């Protein structure tokens, strides 16, 4: 961080944290992304920079919306830093300029939700560029440290990097290093655990990893498309009928490549999503027509753990069930516990998986790496170029 003393440094962080309203006040329910952003901010501030943090929250429609204000994030960021964080009530307007002008060396400011400006997410290069010009005018340098958005070609991620001397922040550098270890000569056995609701969300990852992984463990809502493809009843469970042929093709290709696809042998079902009292375990090939599957069963959890026991490299993305409800959390807990015991690199691939690890009370230090960007991780593993990375590497 040399050469930044006295300079204004714009940092694109990922502070997109979940909020809930309690007694009329917004409360952060998981501050993991804020804590992950601290090291780069602290290093810049410690080197005497005037740190200007920009970030988004949720998906506002390109206009100010109090429901998506970063004000609660500014408070929490200040608590974690141990010093006040100045908060600008706009992105590039009068408040932003006043707040930046008032920064002393080593101080930190947070701009309001960058997505309150339509130029941030515009598909029009000129509109996005005009907004990037305004952001760039606030700073002397740019540091990209929001890994959760580097797969987006957005003004504060991509276009600003073309307008200011730019560098990769520590968080992004670490994420890229870990993902390269998953894709370039990974230690074997290499096991990939995929969950979450939809097969279609993971098609590119499955396609790319079939040639790299030794085993694929499939759980979550997406497993019912695999079970249906095998000819089994799945009741009212999540099902993507348009992906059945694709799944069958993957299974055939896996067999040809010698890649083992492990599916659950038992499923926790219930009569309805909210009716925990009716939860029961049934064989995966005998799901009652009137029920829906909401977690992998205990035998499957044990089998998945056994399939992970000898792994040297593991990537996990997507919970095994509706982990937010205790009756359907045990499959996810079994996978998380198994990852903590891996003798090698264990990577929790962001998104709901990272949220589940924290919600279920696991020590984050027990895992090799917990990613801050589910979508960005998946796109990297699909083999896609990430605009926010290519622009820093001079390839854009």
Give the residue numbers marked as catalytic. Answer: 33, 198, 351, 375
- Does 58 show up as a binding residue in the annotation? yes
How far apart CA 308 and CA 79 sit, in angstroms, is 38
Sheet with 50-54: list strands edge to edge.
Answer: 86-87, 108-110, 50-54, 8-12, 141-144, 166-168
**33 a known binding residue?**
yes
Annotated ligand binding at 321? The verdict is: no
**Distance (Å, rounded) from C-alpha 351 to C-alpha 378?**
10
- Cross-strand partners of 269: 280, 293
- 153 annotated ligand binder: no
Whether 236 and 290 have beta carbons less than 8 Å apart is answered as yes
Residue of 116, 123, 258 lying closest to 188 (CA atoms): 258
Nearest to 269 by CA among 287, 254, 253, 285: 287
Output the DSSP codes for 72-104: HHHHHHHHHHTS--EE-SSSSSHHHHHHHHTPP
Asked if residue 351 belongs to a known ligand binding site, the reply is yes
d(CA 29, CA 357): 14
Cα–Cα distances in angstroms (integers) from residue 82 to residues 14, 43, 51, 250, 347, in the given order: 20, 14, 15, 51, 30
238 is in an annotated binding site: no
How many residues belong to the chain? 396
Is 13 one of the annotated binding-site residues?
Answer: no
Distance (Å, rounded) from C-alpha 66 to C-alpha 112? 10
Q: Which residues make beta-bridge pairs with 142? A: 10, 166
Q: Are 211 and 170 in contact (CB under 8 A)?
A: no
Q: Would you say 115 is a known binding-site residue?
A: yes
On whether 113 is known to bind a ligand per the annotation, the reply is: no
15 marked among binding-site residues: yes
Contact assessment for residue 232 and residue 265, using Cβ atoms and an 8 Å cutoff: no
Residue 215, marked binder: no
152 labeled binding residue: yes
Distance of alpha carbon 356 from alpha carbon 336, whole angstroms: 9
Q: Is 144 annotated as a binding residue?
A: no
Q: Which residues are annotated as a binding site for (2R)-3-phosphoglycerate?
A: 33, 115, 152
Q: Which residues are annotated as a binding site for substrate?
A: 14-16, 33, 56-59, 115, 152
Q: Which residues are annotated as a binding site?
A: 14-16, 33, 56-59, 115, 152, 202, 293, 324, 350-353
């Amino acid at each position: 961080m040399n050469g930044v003393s006295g300079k204004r440094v714009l940092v694109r962080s990922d502070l997109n944290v979940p909020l809930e309203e309690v007694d009329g006040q917004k409360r952060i329910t998981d501050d993991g992304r804020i804590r992950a952003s601290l090291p780069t901010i602290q290093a810049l501030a410690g080197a005497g920079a005037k740190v200007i943090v920009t970030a988004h929250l949720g998906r506002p429609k390109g206009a100010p919306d109090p429901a998506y204000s970063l004000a609660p994030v500014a408070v929490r960021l200040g608590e974690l830093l141990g010093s006040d964080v100045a908060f600008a009530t706009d992105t590039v307007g009068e408040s932003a300029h006043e707040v930046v002008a008032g920064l002393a060396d080593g101080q930190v400011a947070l701009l309001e939700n960058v997505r309150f400006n339509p130029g941030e997410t515009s598909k029009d290069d000129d509109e996005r560029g005009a907004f990037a010009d305004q952001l760039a005018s606030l700073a002397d340098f740019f540091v990209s440290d929001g890994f959760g958005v580097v797969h987006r070609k957005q003004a504060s991620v991509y276009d600003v990097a073309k307008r200011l001397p730019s560098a990769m922040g520590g968080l992004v550098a670490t994420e890229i290093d870990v993902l390269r270890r998953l894709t370039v000569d990974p230690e074997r056995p290499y096991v990939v655990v995929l969950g979450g609701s939809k097969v279609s969300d993971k098609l590119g990852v499955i396609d790319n990893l079939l040639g790299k992984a030794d085993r694929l463990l499939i759980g979550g809502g997406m497993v019912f498309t695999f079970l249906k493809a095998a000819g089994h009843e799945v009741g009212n469970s999540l099902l993507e009928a348009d992906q059945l042929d694709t799944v069958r093709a993957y299974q055939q290709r896996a067999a040809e490549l010698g890649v083992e696809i492990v599916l659950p042998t038992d499923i926790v079902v219930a009569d309805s999503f909210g009716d925990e009292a009716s939860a029961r375990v049934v064989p995966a090939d005998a799901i009652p027509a009137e029920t829906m599957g909401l977690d992998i069963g205990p035998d499957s959890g044990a089998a998945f753990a056994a399939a992970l026991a000898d792994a040297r490299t593991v990537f996990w993305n997507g919970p095994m069930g509706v982990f937010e409800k205790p009756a359907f959390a045990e499959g996810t807990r079994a996978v998380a516990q198994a990852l903590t015991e891996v003798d090698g690199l264990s990577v929790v691939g962001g998104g709901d998986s990272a949220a589940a690890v924290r919600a279920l009370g696991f020590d984050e230090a027990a895992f090799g790496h917990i990613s801050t960007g589910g979508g960005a991780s998946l796109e990297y593993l699909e083999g896609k170029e990430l605009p926010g990375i290519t622009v820093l590497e001079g390839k854009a």
